[in-house]
């Protein structure tokens, strides 16, 4: 029997497996995304394993096995779970979904793990339930994910001419290559000033709506390039509220 190893982790996704077990995808500090069988997690057992396999709860757990699909051993809470309400909860589901689809198996991303925790803290601290208060937090994490995975574009140069981005020029974002100059009438055109201000995190200011729009266009296109065209289910939750 393979020796078990201890990990610090969050649950990203879980689904039923056989009669009483679950397949669980974890985001671990030590090895990135890992999948495991949680035996008896759906059964009528007296252990608290089922309650610990919840989203936004940091845990310490033991995983064993030689294949990519591990076996979950001991699991215990490591700190208080982040409390997310209403739209912030949907944002949390969104983070978990894009991580599940973007992360390869068994590769550590310690900085991204720290950013994920920081993002959950931000979401749990937001007092307003308005999406405009939550979107900048999502953009910041999306950009962090894109940077980690090598999909963040060059915000300083036109990818065709290689000339510096000009504040008063309009650009189109091609996820496969970067920004290219376009006509301002293009419905997806982004002004150069907004591209330059994205690098400063200016999308957090309420009066920077054009920068927020630019960040949304860039992140959506780049994420689609990273995780594919399959619809993101958690986005549909926002349409129901």
Q: What are 200-219's pLDDT values in tens digits? A: 887 777 778 899 999 999 99
Q: Which of 140, 144, 117 is nearest to 216 (CA)?
A: 140
What six digits make up the tokens of 143? 């950009």
Q: Which of 33, 241, 220 is nearest to 138 (CA)?
A: 220
CATH number of 5-77: 2.40.50.140
What six digits make up the tokens of 4? 């078990």
pLDDT of residue 44: 58
The three-state secondary structure class of 33 is: strand
What six digits make up the tokens of 130? 């308005």
pLDDT of residue 1: 45
Decide: 61 and 10 in contact? Cβ < 8 Å: no
Helices 209-227 & 131-149, crossing angle to 10 degrees?
40
The structure's pTM equals 0.91
CB half-sphere exposure, 195, CA atoms < 13 A: 27
pLDDT of residue 241: 43
In this prediction, the residues of the chain whose per-residue pLDDT falls under 50 are: 1, 240-241
Going from N- to C-terminal start, the domains of the chain cover 5-77, 86-239
Decide: 104 and 32 in contact? Cβ < 8 Å: yes
CATH architecture classification, 86-239: Up-down Bundle (1.20)
What six digits make up the tokens of 103? 């992360």
């Amino acid at each position: 029997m393979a020796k078990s190893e201890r990990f610090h982790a969050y649950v990203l996704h879980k689904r039923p497996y056989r009669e009483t077990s679950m397949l669980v995808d974890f985001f671990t500090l030590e090895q990135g995304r890992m999948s495991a069988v949680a035996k008896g997690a759906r059964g009528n057992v007296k252990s608290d394993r089922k309650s610990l396999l919840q989203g936004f709860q940091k845990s310490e757990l033991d995983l064993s096995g030689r294949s990519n699909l591990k076996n979950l051993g001991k699991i215990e809470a490591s700190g208080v779970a982040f409390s997310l309400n209403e739209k912030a909860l949907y944002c949390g589901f969104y983070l978990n979904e894009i991580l599940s689809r973007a992360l390869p198996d068994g590769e550590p991303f310690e900085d991204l793990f720290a950013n994920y925790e920081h993002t959950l803290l931000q979401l749990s601290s937001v007092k307003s339930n308005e999406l405009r208060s939550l979107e900048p937090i999502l953009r910041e994490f999306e950009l962090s994910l894109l940077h980690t995975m090598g999909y963040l574009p060059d915000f300083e140069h036109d990818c065709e001419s290689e000339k510096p981005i000009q504040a008063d020029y309009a650009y189109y974002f091609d996820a496969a290559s970067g920004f290219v100059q376009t006509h301002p009438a293009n419905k997806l055109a982004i002004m150069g000033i907004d591209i330059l201000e994205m690098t400063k995190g200016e999308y957090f200011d309420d009066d920077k709506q054009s920068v927020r729009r630019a960040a949304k266009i860039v992140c959506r296109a780049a994420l689609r390039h990273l995780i594919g065209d399959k619809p993101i289910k958690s986005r549909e939750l926002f349409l129901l509220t």
